Amino acid sequence: MGLRSGRGNWVNTAAPNPSGTIYTCTRLRIRAHQLIPREDYLRMIRMGIPQIARFIGEHGYAREIHIFPGSRPDIDRIEIALAANLAAACADVRGLTTGHLKTLTDWYLHRWDIVNVMIVLRGKRRGLPADRIREILVPAGDLDSAALEVLLGTGSFDDIVAELKNWRLHPVIERECQNINRPCLFAGLENRLWQQYYTDLIRNCGSGIPGGEIFLDSLRLEIDLANFRNLLRLRAGSAPKDPAGQMIAGGNITVEELSALSLIGDHDGFVSAFRTFRLHPLLVEAYRSLAGPDISAGEAEDYIADRWVGRKRPLHEMEMAVARVRLNRMAGLSKRNPFSVLPVILYLERKKFEVFNIRAIVRGIGDGIDPEKIAQYVVI
Amino acid sequence: MMQGDIQTTRAGLQAVRRKIQIAENGHRLLKLKRDVLILELITIAQRIRRSEQDLGGLLRGARETLSIAKMMEGSLGIVIVSISVEESPEIRAGSRNVMGMQLPVFTANGIRKELSDRGYGLIGTSSVIDEAAEAYEGLTETIVRHAELLAAARILSAEIQRLKRRVNALEFRVIPDLYATRDAIVLRRDEMEREEHSRIFWVKRRKGSFR
């Protein structure tokens, strides 16, 4: 059980429970193996929507799929069922973990709170009906369905902010929403919430909680990848400006280094800066998974530098490749630390990607996309 | 054909001649205007053809990007992003003058946005959202330009039809009628002159016999 000290650091008050940790990690490792395997995804790509609904109904999604009134659920309903299943899986993991493992898992899952709070704020501001907003929510974080229902039942924007007074990121919302009529309020608020989330997470993980340091490595890599991706996006989609305000602090690459990188416009300068980053080998590996195993590091660097210098798109293919490589890396780290928070996080990430994969397949089939192309968007 | 209310006097003849001159001037000017408008319509039609080809490509690209975005982020993710948009684009309708014709000009503001102005947060979204947003921004811009061209073409085409009717009416009805009227007046006046000449001849002759 974690408590928050006066200075905001988390203190582990529960005695380490090795048998509980071993039990949880083992169970989650087994669960991870029970997730839909690669060959089943490849089969699903060639199925129709009703067949997929039946298939996933037989593979752990029965409760959510079988609530459909008809035998032919539509794609939107399947997506809602997938989100509900993901929320249930996260809640299940939270129930399964104990001690410091639970604390770290809870911290990790708080990211869903940001997603949900932003959906509620934006939906309410746009005047969407509560039922429509409810369909989009994934109550996998600290704010459970009941808390989100309270927010949905709240009338005005100020009341929602007041209702969130006990939420850990409430100070950020309060600070950012002082002038609710300023342009791009929600974009700024969302960025600040994510920045604060990562700042808190890094501080908490580094505050001496058992397993925190192991989690930190994975977290820093996640931050680096998010920052690098966003830097490429900013470069491709905006006039040149200092990206520091949009970056997450706490990664292996500092915000200052990212700011300096954003000023580089030539190929060679970018490549020499890029080589010094710790995510360099991961991105090279990701490009190899896209373009072929024979690709050299130099060719991968050229590809990324070409995108950087030319402000080119698309970037999403690389993003998918990076997600695959990152999951592989996490699996490797998890094997090296079998009784830490990493198997828990790995399971949650794999579960998330299972849901994303099914969604990608269902959406791709619904839009008539070629099976080979759909396969590119499946993270296995 | 002689018009009923035309007087077969010198003043009547001059009035008809003035009308002929005005009609011929009008006919020439209207033909000129029609030709210019036809040239403008041809130019606009070529632009419409190019714009239609662009639209087709952009629409296919935007749909494909949206499909990929739906695959990666889910339609729920797309809904979240779509409700994040805080500023709607503004389209102002103005006009430009072509041979006295007011053709529409649509000025779009705020369609193409910078990443930081789109309303969604950078950290919580992926690049496919930028790609879909950019594709649809480009498509919307082209749709506005296409709408401007289509509206201009429609107005021009209606005006050209109207001008064509007027030019044809002048060319095949009004001007020939006026020439006929002029000829009839001239004939009538010649006739009257001959009658007068003959009358004077006979009057003089009768006066001479009395002497």
The span from the CA of B16 to the CA of A226, in Å, is: 86
The yes-or-no verdict on residue A115 having pLDDT over 50 is yes
The mean per-residue pLDDT over the stretch A116-123 comes to: 89
Query: Which of B78, B116, B128 would you mutate first to test chain A, the one with the most A CBs within 10 A?
Result: B116
How far CA A89 is from CA of A82, A304, A343, B50, B86, in Å, comes to 10, 36, 15, 52, 34
| Burial readout A1-36 (b: 16 or more C-beta within 10 A, e: otherwise) | ebeeeeeeebebebeeeeebbeebbebbbebbeebb
The phi, psi pair for B91, rounded to 5°, reads: -115, 120
The C-alpha atoms of residue B166 and residue B148 are separated, in whole angstroms, by: 27
Phi, psi of B174 (to 5 degrees): -65, -50
Contacts of B83 in chain A (CB under 8 A): 122-123, 125-126, 128
Closest Cα in chain B, distance from residue A126 (Å): 7
Span A273-289, pLDDT tens digits: 989 988 899 999 999 98
Q: Which residues contact A287 (CB under 8 A, 6 or more apart)?
A: A295, A299, A300, A303, A304, A318, A321
Span A188-226, pLDDT tens digits: 888 999 999 999 999 988 888 888 888 888 899 899 999
Q: Which residue of A has its CA nearest to B85?
A: A184
Q: What is the mean pLDDT of residues A103-124?
A: 90
pLDDT surpasses 70 at B3: no
Q: Which residue of B has its CA nearest to A134?
A: B76
Q: What is the CA radius of gyration of chain B?
A: 34
**Mean pLDDT, chain A, as a whole number?**
86
Quick: pLDDT tens for A160-171.
Answer: 888 888 899 999
Q: Does A231 score more than 80 pLDDT?
A: yes
Nearest to B69 by CA among A119, A228, A315: A315
Do residues A308 and A235 touch, judged by C-beta distance below 8 A?
yes
Q: How far is B81 from chain A (nearest CA, A)?
A: 9
Q: Which residues pair with B102 in a beta bridge?
A: B97
pLDDT for B138 beyond 70: yes
Which run of H or E residues covers position B46?
A: helix B10-84
Residues 6+ apart with CB under 8 A from B15: B6
DSSP 8-class letter at A206: T
Write the DSSP assignment of A49-83 as a string of letters. Answer: HHHHHHHHHTTT-HHHHTT-SSSS--HHHHHHHHH
Tell me the shortest Cα–Cα distance from B85 to chain A, in angstroms: 8
Give the global pTM.
Answer: 0.82
Give the model's pLDDT for residue A125.
Answer: 82
What's the whole-number mean pLDDT along residues A299-308? Answer: 90
Dist CA A121 CA A156 (whole Å): 10
Please answer whether residues A41 and A357 qualify as being in contact, where contact means their C-beta atoms are separated by less than 8 angstroms. yes
Q: What is the pLDDT of residues A47-77, one digit of tens each?
A: 998 899 889 988 888 888 877 665 555 888 8
Q: Does B114 touch chain A (CB under 8 A)?
A: yes
pLDDT computed for residue B140 by the predictor: 93
Which one-letter DSSP state was computed for residue A36?
A: P
The per-residue pLDDT for A6 is 37
Decide if pLDDT at A5 tops 50: no
Average pLDDT over residues A170-196: 84
Q: Is the distance from CB of A225 to CB of A233 less than 8 angstroms?
A: no
Q: Right CATH number for B16-189 from 2.60.260.20, 3.40.50.620, 3.10.580.10, 1.10.287.3240?
A: 1.10.287.3240
pLDDT score recorded for residue B144: 94
Give the pLDDT band of residue A360 (cuts 50, 70, 90): very high
- Would you say residue A3 has pLDDT above 50? no
Where does the pLDDT of residue A135 fall: very low under 50, low under 70, confident under 90, or very high at 90 and above?
A: confident
Please say if the pLDDT value at position A341 is more than 80: yes
CB contact under 8 A, B130 and A233: yes
User: How many CB atoms are located within 10 Å of the residue A296 CB?
Assistant: 10
Which of B80, B102, B208, B107 shows the shortest CA–CA distance to B159? B102
Task: Tell me the torsion sign for CA atoms B75, B77, B78, B79.
Answer: positive
> Amino acid letter at B93?
A
Are the Cβ atoms of B122 and A233 closer than 8 angstroms? yes
Under an 8 A CB cutoff, do B76 and A115 touch? no
Mean pLDDT in residue range B65-72: 90
Q: Do B76 and A79 touch (CB under 8 A)?
A: yes
Minimum CA–CA partner of B78 in chain A = A136
Q: What is the predicted pLDDT for the residue at A14?
A: 43
- Mean of the per-residue pLDDT values for chain B? 90
> Three-class SS of residue B96?
strand
Taking CA atoms, what residue in B is nearest to A126? Answer: B83
User: What pLDDT does A21 receive?
Assistant: 85
Q: Which residues of B touch A117 (CB under 8 A)?
A: none
Asked if A114 has any chain B CB less than 8 Å from its own CB, the reply is yes
CB A18 within 8 A of CB A340: no
Tell the burial category of A49 from Cβ atoms under 10 Å away from its Cβ (0-12, 13-18, 19+).
middle
CB-based contact B72 A316, cutoff 8 Å: yes
pLDDT for A353 equals 92
- Asked whether the beta carbons of residue B124 and residue A194 sit closer than 8 angstroms, the reply is yes
| Inter-chain touch B71–A128, beta carbons under 8 Å | no
Query: Per the CB < 8 Å rule, is A186 touching B86?
Result: yes
Q: Is A311 on the interface with B (CB under 8 A)?
A: no
List of residues 6+ apart from A228 with CB closer than 8 A: A253, A258, A277, A279, A283
Residue A39 tokens, joined: 């060959």
Closest CA to B175 of B52, B51, B30: B30
Q: What is the pLDDT of residues A237-261, one digit of tens each?
A: 776 677 888 899 989 999 999 999 8
DSSP for A310-355, please give it. TT----HHHHHHHHHHHHHHHHHHHHHSTTSSHHHHHHHHHHHHHH
Q: Name the least confident of A2-16, A270-284, B57-71.
A: A2-16
Size of interface A-B (CB pairs under 8 A): 131
Write the pLDDT tens digit of every residue in B22-53: 999 999 999 999 999 999 999 999 999 999 99
Q: Is A85 left (phi over 0), alpha (psi -120 to 50) or beta?
A: alpha
Q: Please tell me the predicted confidence (pLDDT) of residue B103.
A: 92
Question: Which value, to the nearest 10 degrees, does the dihedral of the CA atoms of residues A130, A134, A136, A141 take?
Answer: 130
DSSP string, B149-209: HHHHHHHHHHHHHHHHHHHHHIIIIIHHHHHHHHHHHHHHHHHHHHHHHHHHHHHHHHHHH
* C-alpha distances out from residue A156 to A152, A161, B10, B87, B120, Å: 10, 9, 87, 20, 21
Q: The tokens of A77 are what?
A: 């309903």
In 3D, which of A289, A248, A265 has the Cα closest to residue A375? A289
Instruction: Say if B75 is an interface residue toward chain A (CB within 8 Å).
Output: yes
Q: Do A83 and B76 touch (CB under 8 A)?
A: yes
| CB-based contact A108:A348 (threshold 8 Å) | yes
Across the strands, what pairs with A3? A11
From the CA of B144, how many Å to the nearest CA of chain A? 22
pLDDT range class, residue B170, cuts 50, 70, 90: very high
Inform me whether the pLDDT recorded for A342 exceeds 70: yes
* Minimum distance, in Å, between the CA of residue B46 and any CA atom of chain A: 31
What ipTM score was computed for the predicted complex, to two decimals?
Answer: 0.84
Put simply, whether A194 touches B (Cβ < 8 Å) is yes
Q: Which of B93, B135, B89, B143 is nearest to B111 (CA)?
A: B89
Q: Lowest-pLDDT range, A170-179, A283-292, B51-60, B162-171? A: A170-179
